[in-house]
């Protein structure tokens, strides 16, 4: 289990780093012209962490998938230039 946990942590770190880099390398979006469609005000640099699925089907490890999502949200919230979508909104 120690190796599996280490592997999961490494995978999560790589995914978080990739998402972070992708977010900042995206070109700036321009607002939608009036009357061309629905307009949603989304901060330019925002991210939502989606829930991880417990692929082991072992109920005893369910806390791990929830904990990884929560840890990512908490870590990303530390970045002042990034708006993190609330867990309750992202997990719907």
- In the chain, domain spans: 2-34+42-90
Average pLDDT of 14-33? 71
User: What value does the CA radius of gyration of the chain take, rounded to a whole number of Å?
Assistant: 16
Report pLDDT digits (tens) over 51-78: 888 888 788 888 888 888 888 888 888 8
Q: Is 87 helix (H, G, I), strand (E, B) or coil?
A: helix
State the pTM of this model.
0.49
Which pLDDT belongs to residue 72? Answer: 87
Which pLDDT belongs to residue 63? Answer: 84
Average pLDDT of 30-59? 71
> What is the per-residue DSSP string for 34-72?
TTSS------SSEE-PPPPP-TT--GGGHHHHHHHHHHH
């Amino acid at each position: 289990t120690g190796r599996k946990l280490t592997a999961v942590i490494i995978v999560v770190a790589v995914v978080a780093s990739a998402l972070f880099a992708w977010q900042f390398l995206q070109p700036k979006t321009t607002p939608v012209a009036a009357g061309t469609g629905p307009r949603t005000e989304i901060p330019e640099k925002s991210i939502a962490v989606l829930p991880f699925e417990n692929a082991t089907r072992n109920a005893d490890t369910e806390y791990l998938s929830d904990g990884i999502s929560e840890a990512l949200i908490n870590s990303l919230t530390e970045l002042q230039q990034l708006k993190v979508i609330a867990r309750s909104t992202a997990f719907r």
